[in-house]
Amino acid sequence: MNIIRKIKILPLIMILPIIMCSCKKAVRSGAFEVRNEGVAFNEDIRRQIIGNNERSQSDSQAEKDRYEPLNYDEQKAIWFSYIDLAEFISGKSKSEFKSSVGTALENVSKAGFNTVYIHVRAFEDAFYKSDLFPKTSYLGSNEYDPLKIIISKAHKLDLSVHAWVNPFRCGNADAIESESDKYTIKKWYNDDKKNGTYIVSVKDDEHMWLNPAYKDVRQLVADGVAEIVENYKVDGIHFDDYFYPTTDKSFDKAAFEESSNSDLSAWRIENINKMIRLVYDSVKGINKNVKFGISPQGNIENDYQLQYADVKTWCSKDGYVDYITPQVYYGYSSTSPYLETVKRWDTLKTNKKVKLVIGLAEYKVISEDEYIHNKGIIAEQIKDAKKLSNYGGIAIYNYKNLFTADDEFSDRVESEYAFITKELSE
């Protein structure tokens, strides 16, 4: 068997001298017969050897062709929400979109950011070419590919592009009904057994939600991510904090009863963990260097009690995430003080492979007293984040509020912008 393994990796011309001998008695092997007159190869094994060589060459070429993602040891990220993108896309031609989004990316590059989180699927509607999800309604009759354009322009500016996805949130019932029947979610919606189980309405919420209790739902989420990584030169995949939309027991009652579990909270947490592991493996199976990150709520208790998001596991074990971006949208004097909160996250992140990126709420400089009256507060929070032992960067929400503020807030935002850009450059 040792000889056979060596043969599989050697060209045939090198194998022959090794195995020819003057033995008088034939010694049979699965791959060949050695006789005194020479060698007779088993045809099936010969084809296998050739096939292995061809596959090896093919794998080698695929490795060379594989996109090498652009990522930074220190993320300086900014979120582009679907609201930002809608302004660039709605009623705009391809050339108009290219111009407006190009200007936006130049703005963030000049400000000192190196990473953009682009909201490519907010309500299971795609801002890219997809076979699994319908195109976003913001595109109207236009058929250009926003994500492809963004990636091209961003990479020319050395900006890392992370495709931001909401895994479970769908549009409202009217939006789903207008979709083509070819899409999986529409099929579930039309199925009396799956409408109310796989896809669920939530009280006081106009959106419908996918239920992570089901393997098929988790697989669709993973397939949706794989489709992006397979078809686009993205540098990362990014999830935010939309997991379970409610704590109401009725949301997944049927699935829970079928599971024979007794602890609803633990069961829901494991459902999310199964999905996260599946997504992580799907990303790495296509390109091991593409990053996968999650942006949970900054309040750790809320992550568990409201979202069933197991952030402690994600921050400590392999196979879940490459980075965690908690939304620490708190001031220094908040009920959950900023410094206390980031230090808790710093302690939580024990896996050296996982980066800690602190999410900050720049939009609060025009909406919350502590932020309004303390100029440079976001820059100060960046400074304090840099002092963390596990610091891996910062992320600011969002583009619109930092770069296109309404006139009445322009002076305050411009002042904060100056502090932020100065800190990003240091």
Say which range, 7-11, 215-219, 243-247, has the weakest mean pLDDT: 7-11
- Domain 75-424: give its CATH code: 3.20.20.80
pLDDT at residue 4 above 50? no
What pLDDT score does 65 carry? 64
Cα separation, 354 vs 324, whole angstroms: 7
For residue 179, give every residue at least 6 positions away whose Cβ sits within 8 Å of its Cβ, in sequence order, or none.
134, 185, 186
Mean pLDDT of the chain: 89
pLDDT at residue 25 greater than cutoff 60: no
Contact 332, 340 (CB under 8 A): no
pLDDT of 317 = 98
Domain ranges of the chain: 2-61, 75-424
Judge whether residue 42 has pLDDT over 70: no
Specify the pLDDT at position 57.
53
Query: Contact, 260 vs 267, CB < 8 A?
Result: no
Q: Which of 336, 311, 335, 307 is nearest to 325 (CA)?
A: 311
Percentage of the chain beyond pLDDT 90 is 83
What is the rounded (10 degree) CA torsion for 409, 410, 413, 417?
180
Give the mean model confidence (pLDDT) for residues 355-371. Answer: 96
Q: What distance lies between CA 180 and its chain's CA centroid?
A: 26
CB 138 within 8 A of CB 90: yes
pLDDT over 50 at 295, yes or no: yes
Contact 113, 104 (CB under 8 A): no
Contacts 24+ apart (CB under 8 A), 40-45: 45/4
**CA dihedral for 196, 200, 202, 208, sign (positive or negative):** negative
Q: How many CA atoms are closer than 13 Å to the CA of 302, on its beta-carbon side?
A: 12
pLDDT surpasses 50 at 1:
no
Handedness of CA 46, 51, 57, 60 (dihedral sign): negative
Report the C-alpha gap between 234 and 286 in whole angstroms.
Answer: 12
Token readout for 209 is: 């939600």
Q: Which two tokens stand for residue 404?
A: 């296109």
The label of the residue with tokens 């896309």 reads 89
Cα–Cα distances in angstroms (integers) from residue 291 to residues 23, 68, 73, 133, 285, in the given order: 57, 11, 12, 22, 12
The neighbour count for residue 103, using CB atoms within 10 Å, is 12
Report the pLDDT averaged over residues 132-154. 97
Split at pLDDT 50, 70, 90, the class of 408 is confident
| Confidence at residue 227, expressed as pLDDT on a 0 to 100 scale | 98
314 pLDDT more than 80: yes
**10 contact partners, CB below 8 Å, separation of at least 6:** none
Assign 3 a pLDDT band (cuts: 50, 70, 90).
very low
pLDDT exceeds cutoff 80 at 53: no
Lowest mean pLDDT among 45-49, 85-89, 235-239, 290-294: 45-49
Lowest mean pLDDT among 21-30, 193-202, 368-377: 21-30
Could you report the per-residue pLDDT of 57-98, keeping only the tens digit for each?
A: 555 445 546 899 999 999 999 999 999 999 999 999 999 999
pLDDT for 58: 54
Q: Which amino acid is at 422?
A: K
* pLDDT of the residue at 38: 38
User: So what's the pLDDT on residue 55?
Assistant: 54
- β-strand 27-28 against 32-35: which pairing, if any? antiparallel
Does an H or E element contain 47, and which?
Answer: helix 43-65
Mean pLDDT (whole number) for 323-343: 97
Q: How does strand 391-397 pair with strand 355-361?
A: parallel
Q: CB of 354 within 8 A of CB of 360? A: no
Task: Between 180 and 55, name the one with better pLDDT.
Answer: 180
Confidence of residue 328 (pLDDT cuts 50, 70, 90): very high
Q: Which residues are bridge partners to 164 per DSSP?
A: 119, 238
Alpha helices, H only, 213-261: 215-231, 253-259
Q: What integer is the mean pLDDT of 38-61?
A: 50
